[in-house]
Amino acid sequence: MHKELAHPLIHSLVNTLRDNTLDPFVFRHTIKEITKILLYEALNNQKLCSREIMTWNGVKTYSYVPEEDIVVVSVLRAGLSMHEAVIDTLKGAQSGFLGIKRDEVTHKSVLYYDRVGDCSGKKVILVDPMVATGGSLCDAIKVLKQKNAGEIQTLNILASPEGVQRVLEEYPQIDMIIAKIDEKLNNDKFILPGLGDAGDRAYNTL
């Protein structure tokens, strides 16, 4: 299933990213702001665990997100800023990284780096700002399943309708939380209107 966040603040933040004159620092900052909102939505139905703590008034039991049962996995490079935003909030979560690059001619995604451990018994939050053809996200989900991931939620900033359809056709049980689904893909498989190459814009790549 997927959920597109319809909220004035999300619209405004996503449209901020479309400004090509935005410097990389503000671009990354805005990605992080949006990611915090996506995470808030993703954890809406999260089961909490109880923990005893020492308060000013003695030992008490309170509920918390079981951060140690969550693995945050990002797709390099553009997912890195999102990753930072998630682990700044879920400080006890574990991390994994997948290097996936889309071939510029064939538009097919290629896995070149895998630093994800065994995910048995863990919930995975998979972050990648862009879902164009959906190939990169499908590849990432395939790897996570091979690593025994249970529940997988994706946080995405921009997606094409075609990309969302492909991911959910291949993996109907995935929960996609998306800031904005744009109009379509162009012939070069870029999202329209989109925001360009998120990895290049975030890190000022030569």
Instruction: Judge whether 197 counts as a catalytic residue.
Output: yes
Binding residue (CB under 6 A) for ligand PRP from 30, 81, 94, 136: 136
Binding residue (CB under 6 A) for ligand PRP from 101, 114, 147, 175: 101
Strands 2-4 and 184-185: unpaired
Compute the least distance from the CB of residue 152 to ligand PRP, in Å: 16
- Give residues 162-201 in contact with ligand PRP (rule: CB under 6 A): 163, 189, 197-199
* CA-closest candidate to residue 97, choices 147, 133, 132, 134: 147
Asked if residue 155 binds ligand PRP (CB under 6 A), the reply is no
Asked if residue 77 binds ligand PRP (CB under 6 A), the reply is yes
Asked if residue 156 binds ligand PRP (CB under 6 A), the reply is no
Torsional sign, CA 145, 147, 150, 152: negative
Compute the least distance from the CB of residue 132 to ligand PRP, in Å: 3
Task: Spot the catalytic one: 28, 102, 166, 201.
Answer: 102
Binding residue (CB under 6 A) for ligand PRP from 86, 130, 143, 178: 130
**List of residues 6+ apart from 33 with CB closer than 8 A:** 13, 85
Q: How far apart are CA 50 and CA 101, in angstroms?
A: 41
Instruction: Judge whether 118 counts as a catalytic residue.
Output: no
Q: How far apart are CA 167 and CA 10, in angstroms?
A: 23
Instruction: Judge whether 200 counts as a catalytic residue.
Output: yes
Task: Spot the catalytic one: 19, 23, 103, 106.
Answer: 106
Q: How far apart are CA 111 and CA 89, in angstroms?
A: 28
Asked if residue 128 binds ligand PRP (CB under 6 A), the reply is yes
**List of residues 6+ apart from 97 with CB closer than 8 A:** 73, 74, 76, 83, 113, 115, 116
Asked if residue 35 binds ligand PRP (CB under 6 A), the reply is no
Element (H, E) at 70: strand 70-76
Q: Which residues are part of the catalytic machinery?
A: 102, 106, 197, 200
Chain positions contacting ligand PRP, by CB under 6 A = 75-78, 100-102, 109, 128-137, 163, 189, 197-199
